[in-house]
Structure 1
Amino acid sequence: MKILIIITRFAKGAYTYDKNSTEKNYTYMVPLGLPYISAFLKKNGYDVTILNLNHLEGKVQDLIRDELSKNQYNIIFTGGVSIYFPDLRDYVQYIREDSPDSKIVIGGGIISAQPEIMYSLLKPDFIVIGEGELTALELMQCIEKNGDPSKVDGIGYTENGNLVLTKPRKPIIDLDALPYPDLEGMGFDEFLDHTLPTFIVYDTVDFPRPYPLLASRSCPFACTFCFHTIGNKYRQRSIKSIIDEIKYAVRKYKVNIIHLEDELFAYDKERALEFCKQVKEFTDTVPYKIYFNLSLRVDCADEQILDALKSIGCTLIGLGLESFSLTVLNSMKKHTSPEQIERILQMIAEKGLAGQGSFIFGDPAETFETATETLDFYNNHQDIIRGGITLGFVVPFQGSPLYKYCVEKGIIKDEIEFIEKRSQEGYPFFEPMNLTRMSDSEFEKLKDRVFTAAFTTGYFSIPISSESVNGVNEIQIRCPYCNQVSVLKNINYPKRFEFQQIGCRHCNGKFRMVTPYYPAMRFIFKILGFNRINSLKKTFDRIRNVGSNERKIGIT
């Protein structure tokens, strides 16, 4: 049995789907779901190949066709989150055309959120709902023996023209028993060799070699905007298992950044402190500096935790902020408060660290007054926000309670139409849906205020110098927080009105590296506001497109 796993080509920046794109892409957060499944299947004796489309140049259709022409695969696995619906839809079509005998299996958040709808739209042979390792193995064994798929928990398939969903799969409790994800199979060395300090989580070093590590699975909380692909049963790996993987990653890949993809670090304080102790014991033996990035809730940290994190080289801490209004936080079921948010940001700043997170507007409980509470805090506390906090609007992702609310209230009138529209237009982050009780005109004013603040608030700095030294670009820039000069390598000078979010190498504050054009643009943006600037841009784009089309047909 030969198995192919396809990792989708991830989007750069805000998601838009372009089936004709031919570019390689190394600017992505490494997915762990499919590599974990690959490792588990390999451990159980199966022949698995991973096709990582991000590392290949050419149209996706041609790349898949080329791989299928070289090898005959019995089973093809793929999947992802909901925004990659158009990619997965096309992958199914390409596989059907070029390898009609292959069984197609799709999993991930896109399936777990809407199994019936996505099965009908994507039309694979099987879908995997929830956690995938045991399900993938049992499904493989079932197909191999021509067995009864109804005996495999956590899948969907067609029988007599009808979709059959088997009983849900119980969560894997012993996470230590799972093998490390098959990053080697997806070309991890190539990824590391091409990773630049352009992600805010990677800008601590000039030549980042980040390693993604899953220390736990799921989350026991139920925030309304969030969807847990594998349910709400929170499970943690043992500290020994995590430390062993860190040692493995450092020795095998020479990584210098460990990115803990753990939503609730410090949920268990004693465990977090013991983890930091054991990490430090190991990293002190490594001949180079290793940095850590991780996330925690604002109600699960104190000075002792932050001191421990700083001692192991943690410079950036992801935070679940969402709003500075208690009304909105309660509506989101965050179980946190504005006072906790301010306190954790203040402590992080005092420790010379930086927080990362977002304030997201537009919850159903949002009003102009609640939004003003958040905007006022954001505008007046840049000294403790330290550049790592972004502004945006809440998105009703499929499967979340917020999405279900939109369906129940008729905000989303037709789910299939909604999915198809997003597949054609991408995720319109600058055209958010009005989920509030505000009128559309009031909501437009709020959108203007939020995005204007996003573009015009925060610290920035113009580089002192930029030159190539031994073929590597080198930039000197003064930090607007501590006034110290940092020398940044392997990063390009921004173009005209563009900017690059970077971190100070002395105080860890985040700020925008900009060109001399930027202050004027920012001033104009502040005067005109986002909505007028956006309207002008749309007008210019229409004129440009008309002119382009006229030239194509010979009118001009």
Structure 2
Amino acid sequence: MPDVLLVYPPMKEVEIADHLGLPYIAAYLREKGMSVQIIDTKIEGWSPKQAIEEISKMPTKVIGITLPFQIYALEVLNFISALREKTTAHISVGGIFPTFAYREILERYPCIDSVVLGEGEVTFYDLAKSILENKNWKEIHGIAYRESEGIQNTPFRPLVKDLNGLPFPARDNLPRIYEKTKVASVISSRGCYASCSFCSVVPFYEKFGPRIRLRDPENVVDELEMLVKEYKVENVIFCDANFTVSKERAAKIATEIIRRKLKLRYAIESRVTEVDEKLFKLLKESGLRRVFLGLESGSQSMLNRFRKDVTVEQNLRALEILSKLDLYVSPGFIMFDDRTSLEELQENVRFLRTIRQITGKKIRPVDITTKLLPLSGTEFERYLKEKGKYRGDVFSFNYKIEDPSVRFIYYFLKFFGTIISYLKKLFPGEDWDKKWLKS
């Protein structure tokens, strides 16, 4: 019987992927002598009902469940409610969303015993240890819980100072995940230095410490080498919010990959201001094939509202460099927010035509129905609430586009976008997200 079960819950619209949150926690707990079983319900192919039946057969005192996506929170929380009827184990949830919305979660869902606030490795270990030893777990720093007098939270726990000191994530399910996806994940840093109004990553980390921490290049490539030698991995996605936050470190990682003769294709995320031809030429030599680029808009007024601290010209320049190097681009793009005007829509349409001319077929198609999400903890969420525009709650949120003409266009595109998505499922074509694996 494992001391702890760590569960990646069923989410209907989320595809199988190599998620690393729970594997990092599992590795840390195992290093401390705990027995841990990681259950990925997606790779098991379990429905919510099947997952509950299987998990309830595994006697344990502690169950940790990740809640990674706010837009799927209700689905996961309803799953946990049903699981609670089948187990007496302590159920704890964690992630960026629960860290900001722990009060709403604990008030509405009595099935949950505690919420881990911030990074999970050390806090969840201390929590599990206290429960297993029958000690007062409510004294653990970095958690929130329910009392008769209301929701309580203990003092925040600081972030892990040295990421190099953490064990590599436990790769229990990687062989089966890799068989399905042909991609493994690596996290070489945590956080970001930018101040984008829609992003919850920076608010999450700066709540407990520095905005960004970096692993040493050698430590990163040690993990890559382990993946190549032990798991025969050929394709990697770096899940950093910004892999090129330090150009010098990125160059050292590339140089070390080349020096060790690791045969890899990999994908990264970068800000347009860090797309430098010399650096990206080196990265390509070491195996870079795809770049997720946070363009977000082709309208300068929208970029300013999003606090991107970039210009439309810088967006285009970055694309020109990546196109010259024949690198595949996955663009981040947001067509609508509450203040989008017809003029801004026209600017975005012209921009999208321009980037298609620049990149040809080496760019993933943009979803033109994308609407800015007011995620918990973000500046955009605070703005909407201050202006009285926020509708709903953290589990089901919305807002109205001010301009009635733009609002009509949004719903018109959304309607036809739904039809197109349905047809794509019926008649699947080329998987754009996998094109870089073949280059």
Same fold (TM over 0.5): yes
How far residue 182 of structure 1 moved from its aligned partner, in angstroms, is 1.4
Structure 1: distance between partners of 2:366 and 2:46: 34
Structure 1: distance between partners of 2:419 and 2:81: 41
For 1:121-140, what aligned pairs fall within 5 Å after superposition?
Answer: 121-123=108-110, 124-140=112-128
Task: Give yes or no for contact 2:298–2:348 (8 Å, CA) kept in 1.
Answer: yes
For 1:117-516, what aligned pairs fall within 5 Å after superposition?
Answer: 117-123=104-110, 124-184=112-172, 187-195=173-181, 208=182, 210-228=183-201, 230-232=204-206, 233-282=211-260, 284=261, 286=262, 289-385=263-359, 386-391=362-367, 392-415=370-393, 419=395, 421=396, 433-435=399-401, 437-439=402-404, 441-446=405-410, 448=412, 498-502=428-432
Q: Which residue of 2 aligns with 1:3?
A: 4
Runs of 4+ in 1 over 4 A off after TM superposition: 446-456, 494-498, 503-508
After superposition, the Cα gap between the structure-2 partners of 1:105 and 1:53, relative to the gap in structure 1 and judged at 3 Å, is: same
Partner of 2:197: helix, strand, or coil?
A: coil
One-letter identity of the residue aligned with 1:219: C
After superposition, the Cα gap between the structure-2 partners of 1:134 and 1:507, relative to the gap in structure 1 and judged at 3 Å, is: closer
How far residue 142 of structure 1 moved from its aligned partner, in angstroms, is 2.5
Partner of 1:336: helix, strand, or coil?
A: coil
After superposition, the Cα gap between the structure-2 partners of 1:58 and 1:29, relative to the gap in structure 1 and judged at 3 Å, is: closer
Structure 2: distance between partners of 1:72 and 1:363: 47
Structure 2: distance between partners of 1:223 and 1:275: 26
After superposition, what is the alpha-carbon deviation per residue over 1:32-69, rounded to whole angstroms, capped at 9, x for unaligned?
Answer: 11111111111111111122111224432233223322
Partner of 1:499: helix, strand, or coil?
A: coil
Structure 2: distance between partners of 1:454 and 1:40: 42
Q: Where does structure 2 lack aligned partners over 5 or more consecutive residues? A: none
Q: Which residue of 2 aligns with 1:541?
A: none
How far residue 383 of structure 1 moved from its aligned partner, in angstroms, is 2.6
Partner of 1:316: helix, strand, or coil?
A: strand
Task: Give yes or no for contact 2:61–2:131 (8 Å, CA) kept in 1.
Answer: no
How far residue 496 of structure 1 moved from its aligned partner, in angstroms, is 7.3
Structure 2: distance between partners of 1:140 and 1:255: 33
Q: State yes or no: 1:78 paired with 2:65.
A: yes
Partner of 1:402: helix, strand, or coil?
A: helix
How far residue 86 of structure 1 moved from its aligned partner, in angstroms, is 2.5
After superposition, the Cα gap between the structure-2 partners of 1:54 and 1:496, relative to the gap in structure 1 and judged at 3 Å, is: closer
Partner of 1:235: helix, strand, or coil?
A: strand
How far residue 365 of structure 1 moved from its aligned partner, in angstroms, is 4.2
After superposition, the Cα gap between the structure-2 partners of 1:87 and 1:328, relative to the gap in structure 1 and judged at 3 Å, is: same
Structure 2: distance between partners of 1:72 and 1:506: 41
How far residue 160 of structure 1 moved from its aligned partner, in angstroms, is 3.2
Deviates more, 1:351-360 or 1:229-238: 229-238
How far residue 230 of structure 1 moved from its aligned partner, in angstroms, is 3.6
After superposition, what is the alpha-carbon deviation per residue over 1:473-511, rounded to whole angstroms, capped at 9, x for unaligned?
Answer: xxxxxxxxxxxxxxxxxxxxx887543244778995xxx
Task: Give yes or no for contact 1:131–1:171 (8 Å, CA) kept in 2.
Answer: yes
Q: Which residue of 2 aligns with 1:22?
A: none
* Larger helix share, 1 or 2: 2
Structure 1: distance between partners of 2:410 and 2:177: 40
Structure 1: distance between partners of 2:93 and 2:418: 37
Identity among equivalent positions (%) equals 24
After superposition, the Cα gap between the structure-2 partners of 1:190 and 1:373, relative to the gap in structure 1 and judged at 3 Å, is: same
Deviates more, 1:495-504 or 1:46-55: 495-504
Partner of 2:6: helix, strand, or coil?
A: strand
Task: Give yes or no for contact 2:91–2:114 (8 Å, CA) kept in 1.
Answer: yes
Task: Give yes or no for contact 1:10–1:28 (8 Å, CA) kept in 2.
Answer: no
Task: Give yes or no for contact 2:341–2:406 (8 Å, CA) kept in 1.
Answer: no
After superposition, the Cα gap between the structure-2 partners of 1:355 and 1:177, relative to the gap in structure 1 and judged at 3 Å, is: same
Task: Give yes or no for contact 1:332–1:363 (8 Å, CA) kept in 2.
Answer: no
Partner of 2:281: helix, strand, or coil?
A: helix
Partner of 1:245: helix, strand, or coil?
A: helix
Partner of 1:382: helix, strand, or coil?
A: helix
After superposition, the Cα gap between the structure-2 partners of 1:505 and 1:108, relative to the gap in structure 1 and judged at 3 Å, is: closer
After superposition, what is the alpha-carbon deviation per residue over 1:116-162, rounded to whole angstroms, capped at 9, x for unaligned?
Answer: 11111232111101111111111123223444445322100123342
Q: Where does structure 1 lack aligned partners over 5 or more consecutive residues? A: 14-26, 196-207, 423-431, 457-493, 509-556
Structure with larger RCO (C-alpha < 8 A, sep 6+) = 2
Task: Give yes or no for contact 1:2–1:47 (8 Å, CA) kept in 2.
Answer: yes
How far residue 447 of structure 1 moved from its aligned partner, in angstroms, is 5.3
Superposition RMSD in Å? 2.7
Partner of 1:4: helix, strand, or coil?
A: strand
